Amino acid sequence: MAAWVGCLPGAVARPAGTTERDPERTRGGDRPPGAAREIFTLSDEPEQVRELTAGAAPETWVTVPTIDREDEVAGQLAGLGFDVFDERKALMTIALADQPDATPGPEYQVELAEDNGVLRVQVLHRSGEVAARGMAAVIGEDVVMHDIHTDPEHRRRGLGTVVMAALGRRAIELGASTGLLMATYEGVQLYTRLGWLLRATMVTGSGLGATGSEGGDLRPVLASR
């Protein structure tokens, strides 16, 4: 968890087991809709969660990693006044050397771009449309992969694996050895087949002053568009 949080642009270290992401320090000042601050606790211990979220501004989002205590953590956050999201993400990791390589069929072309430390991969169909995409940020020996998406018309052709492989290859070239990501329920199934390991479940809630919904888009957490 600490390694994943450390890769978040704008992360500001705080004492006693938490990291707070300052939106003004993110690339482009981006942030989840309605969130002024995000607090990521490094423990699901009830006393720590209570202490670290005490006095949080109404616009604050809080994410707590946990193993086998998802319902208890959700109940505690609700009791502390946070609106807990129904969807729970999974924190996953992999040794990049163990991730399978993949190339697309002849009707597809892979494009890789780099911007301010962020890697972006697109798989283009011969028609010119974007069939699949993904992004990643490399920080030291870690790379956070994010927003891996395949267009519905191009699914079941291994393009998600192609995107992950392209990001992984470039991350290794840049010195990374460990991959990290936060996956949706559907994504866990794909990443598990690729050798990724489940490390924790992420329970997130927003303060009563926050607006918008969490949805399935984590791009504001990783980097701006």
Mean per-residue pLDDT, 164-182: 96
Q: How far apart are CA 144 and CA 152, in angstroms?
A: 24
Confidence at residue 55, expressed as pLDDT on a 0 to 100 scale: 81
Residue 61 CB partners (closer than 8 Å, separation 6+): 32, 35, 37, 38, 39, 204, 205, 206, 207, 210
Residue 163 CA, chain-centre distance (Å), reads 16
**Is 29's pLDDT higher than 80?**
no
Least confident residue range of 41-55, 112-126, 151-165: 41-55
Domain ranges, ordered by start, for the chain: 2-90+200-216, 100-194
pLDDT for position 218: 37
Q: How far apart are CA 225 and CA 217, in angstroms?
A: 12
The C-alpha angle 37, 38, 42, rounded to 5 degrees, equals 145
Find the length of the chain.
225
Quote the tokens at residue 153: 């018309």
- Look up residue 86 and give its DSSP letter: S
Identify whether the C-beta of residue 74 lies closer than 8 Å to the C-beta of residue 84.
Answer: yes
Asked: is 100-194 a CATH 3.40.630.30 domain? The reply is yes
Query: Are 50 and 80 in contact, with CB atoms under 8 Å apart?
Result: yes
Share of the chain above pLDDT 70, in %: 76
Model pTM score: 0.75
Q: Which residues contact 87 (CB under 8 A, 6 or more apart)?
A: 184, 185, 214, 215, 216
- Per-residue confidence band for 24, with pLDDT thresholds at 50, 70 and 90: very low
Greater pLDDT, 118 or 33: 118
Please state the rounded mean pLDDT for residues 183-197. 90
Give pLDDT, residue 189: 86
Is the pLDDT at 199 greater than 70, yes or no? yes
Is the predicted pLDDT of residue 32 greater than 80, yes or no? no
Contact of 154 with 131, CB cutoff 8 Å: yes
Is a pLDDT exceeding 50 seen at residue 22? Answer: no
- Joined together, the tokens standing for residue 213 give 């919904």
Looking at per-residue pLDDT, the higher value among 182 and 10 belongs to: 182
The band of 19, judged by pLDDT with boundaries at 50, 70 and 90, is: very low
Mean of the per-residue pLDDT values of the chain: 81
**What are the tens digits of pLDDT across the range 97-154?**
999 999 999 999 999 999 888 999 999 999 999 999 999 999 999 999 999 999 999 9
